[in-house]
């Protein structure tokens, strides 16, 4: 198809408008655009406010979407009204004569035939471009990044490691597990009539995802990102336990339960005493094992650590704590913001100690790395709820700088698999 059929300026501009919104991250697909055509047909002659309400109800699916929608709508329709589509003759039309509805069939065929960049020659509208340049911008400076994309990517990552596979009918999952002993005892007491099975306990408190976030001074620049990560935790997965560590271990799961996002920062500031202090990963993990490990860690838990690995403690303690963590979990993923910078080599003692116990180490310094991680995990879902260690099936070729290092490391810990996803160190 070379040219869209020019049936009505409104329907063509609906399509353009929808495309603009899609670029901003709204879920406006072909199905949604088809529905918009139906809606416009149904509403007939209506004012701009009604059209805006109708399209917003249809296309914006969250408060953030609504704000984006409003902005794009204002700019779009202003420009369009000034553009060449304005036909003077329409002002003479009688108010109650309904215009012929746009031909939906031809519109749909045009939509599926392949969209064009040409929007009937109106003024080009400046828009955000979540392109390559922005994708490479460091996450330290979050203010210039489209917030939605960052949150989306983080959300995808969280969901792919923390979401249980969905169950359909199955057994009625009451709180806790069936207490067979008490059920049988009750059965015996009631003379052979099994009236009510007995369930045990208030449900399984052990989490699917266990997160450790480094809040020491070296990670201070990434505080914004850490907070985003935490906000995404809260929204996307329920069964999560989160800890911060620096010089101390601090459990911050209760702070995540609070539904008000604006309070997250203040509550964390109150709860975490060692923000921007030193780093003692080994000692804090040891403390975790002593106090929480038995309760929270189980063979199907996925562990996520966000840290740059600058450790000032003793390497032996670190190695031992990490070994225990690795052994008792299903999958251990380490997000390292330093990793994306050119010339990175895991040379510090901390990193060398830790690396054999990590199943996947990935950079997280910019949006592209987050997208990469989301893509990697979506192709290799690491779902909790299964036994045995997980490993990424798809191992991308390791860059030449790291290949030699990986070999030497794996020779000393040959029984452990090390899957290192490709790190693109070229800018």
Q: Chain-centre distance of CA 217, in angstroms? A: 26
Alpha helices in 297-422 (DSSP H): 315-327, 349-354, 367-379, 400-412
Which pairing describes strands 240-245 and 249-251: parallel, antiparallel, or unpaired? antiparallel
Candidates 91, 117, 408, 411; binder of other proteins (CB under 8 A) is 91
Q: Report in angstroms how near the CB of residue 387 gets to other proteins at its nearest.
A: 20
Q: Report in angstroms how near the CB of residue 47 gets to other proteins at its nearest.
A: 6
The partner residues of 362 in beta bridges, in order of sequence, read: 335
Of the candidates 284, 252, 283, the residue with the CA atom closest to the CA atom of residue 269: 252
What does each C-alpha distance from 363 to 17, 70, 180, 281, 424 come to in angstroms?
36, 35, 47, 19, 9
Candidates 30, 62, 123, 276; binder of other proteins (CB under 8 A) is 62
Residues in contact with other proteins, total (CB under 8 A)? 67
Write the interaction track for other proteins spanning residues 129-168; mark x where CB under 8 A is met and - where it is not. --------------------------x-------xx-xxx
Query: For other proteins, which is the closer residue by CB, 89 or 408?
Result: 89
The partner residues of 335 in beta bridges, in order of sequence, read: 306, 362
Is 76 near other proteins (CB under 8 A)? no
Q: Report in angstroms how near the CB of residue 96 gets to other proteins at its nearest.
A: 6
Candidates 221, 235, 319, 391; binder of other proteins (CB under 8 A) is 235
Which pairing describes strands 360-363 and 209-214: parallel, antiparallel, or unpaired? unpaired
Positions in 183-202 near other proteins (CB under 8 A): 193-196
Distance CA(151)–CA(405), nearest Å, equals 33
Tally of CB atoms within 10 A around 8: 17
Query: For other proteins, which is the closer residue by CB, 23 or 35?
Result: 35
Distance CA(28)–CA(272), nearest Å, equals 41
Query: For other proteins, which is the closer residue by CB, 90 or 408?
Result: 90
Stretch that binds other proteins, among 43-51, 136-144, 310-318, 391-399 (CB under 8 A): 43-51
| 120-147: b (≥16 Cβ within 10 Å) or e | bebeeeeeeebeeebbeebbeebeebbe
Is 269 near other proteins (CB under 8 A)? no
Strand, helix or coil for residue 292: helix
Is 46 near other proteins (CB under 8 A)? yes
Q: Report in angstroms how near the CB of residue 144 gets to other proteins at its nearest.
A: 24
Query: For other proteins, which is the closer residue by CB, 239 or 248?
Result: 239
Q: Of how many residues is the chain composed?
A: 427
**Cβ contact 202:175 at 8 Å:** yes
Is 309 near other proteins (CB under 8 A)? no
Stretch that binds other proteins, among 97-105, 207-215, 216-224, 412-420 (CB under 8 A): 97-105
Stretch that binds other proteins, among 15-23, 55-63, 324-332, 351-359 (CB under 8 A): 55-63
Stretch that binds other proteins, among 92-100, 118-126, 298-306, 380-388 (CB under 8 A): 92-100
Q: Chain-centre distance of CA 251, in angstroms? A: 22
Stretch that binds other proteins, among 44-52, 286-294, 312-320, 400-408 (CB under 8 A): 44-52
Diameter over CA atoms, the chain: 89
- DSSP structure class, residue 166: P
Q: Which residues bind other proteins (CB under 8 A)?
A: 7-11, 27, 32, 35, 38-40, 42-43, 45-51, 53-54, 56-58, 60-63, 65-66, 77, 80-81, 85-87, 90-91, 93, 95-96, 99-100, 102, 155, 163-164, 166-169, 172-175, 193-196, 203, 234-236, 238, 259, 262
């Amino acid at each position: 198809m070379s040219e869209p059929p020019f049936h009505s300026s409104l329907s063509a501009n609906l399509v353009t408008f929808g495309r603009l919104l899609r670029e901003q991250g709204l879920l406006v697909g072909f199905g949604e655009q088809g529905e918009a055509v139906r809606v416009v047909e149904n509403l007939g002659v209506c004012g701009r406010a009604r059209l805006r309400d109708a399209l917003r109800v249809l296309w914006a699916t969250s408060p953030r979407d609504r704000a984006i929608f409003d902005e794009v709508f204002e700019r779009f329709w202003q420009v369009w009204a000034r553009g060449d589509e304005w036909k003077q003759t329409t002002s003479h039309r009688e108010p109650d004569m309904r215009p012929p509805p746009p031909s939906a069939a031809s519109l749909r065929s045009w939509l599926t035939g392949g969209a064009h960049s040409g929007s009937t020659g109106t003024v080009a509208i400046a828009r955000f471009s979540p392109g390559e340049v922005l994708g490479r911008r460091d996450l330290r400076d979050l203010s210039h990044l489209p917030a939605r994309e960052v949150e989306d990517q983080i959300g995808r990552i969280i969901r792919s490691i923390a979401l249980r596979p969905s169950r359909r009918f199955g057994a009625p999952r009451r709180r806790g597990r069936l207490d067979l002993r008490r059920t049988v005892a009750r059965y015996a007491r009631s003379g052979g009539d099994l009236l009510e099975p007995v369930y045990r306990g208030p449900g399984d408190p052990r989490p699917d995802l266990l997160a450790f976030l480094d809040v020491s001074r070296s990670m201070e620049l990434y505080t914004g990102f850490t907070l985003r990560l935490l906000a995404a935790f809260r929204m996307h997965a329920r069964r999560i336990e989160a800890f911060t560590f620096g010089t101390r271990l601090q459990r911050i799961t209760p702070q995540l339960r609070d539904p008000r996002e604006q309070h997250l920062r203040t509550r964390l500031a109150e709860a975490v005493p060692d923000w921007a202090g030193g780093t003692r990963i080994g000692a804090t993990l040891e403390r975790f094992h002593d106090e929480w490990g038995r309760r929270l860690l189980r063979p199907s838990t996925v562990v996520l650590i966000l840290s740059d690995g600058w450790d000032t403690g003793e390497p032996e303690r670190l190695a031992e704590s990490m070994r225990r963590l690795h052994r008792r979990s299903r999958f251990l993923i380490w997000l390292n913001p330093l990793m994306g910078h050119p010339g990175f080599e895991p040379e510090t003692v901390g990193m060398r100690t830790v690396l054999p116990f990590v199943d996947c180490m990935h950079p997280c310094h910019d949006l592209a790395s987050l997208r990469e991680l989301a893509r990697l995990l979506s192709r290799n879902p690491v779902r909790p709820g299964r036994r045995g260690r997980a490993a990424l099936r798809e191992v991308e070729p390791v860059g030449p700088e790291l290949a030699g290092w990986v070999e030497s490391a794996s020779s000393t810990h040959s029984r452990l698999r090390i899957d290192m996803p490709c790190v693109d160190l070229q800018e």
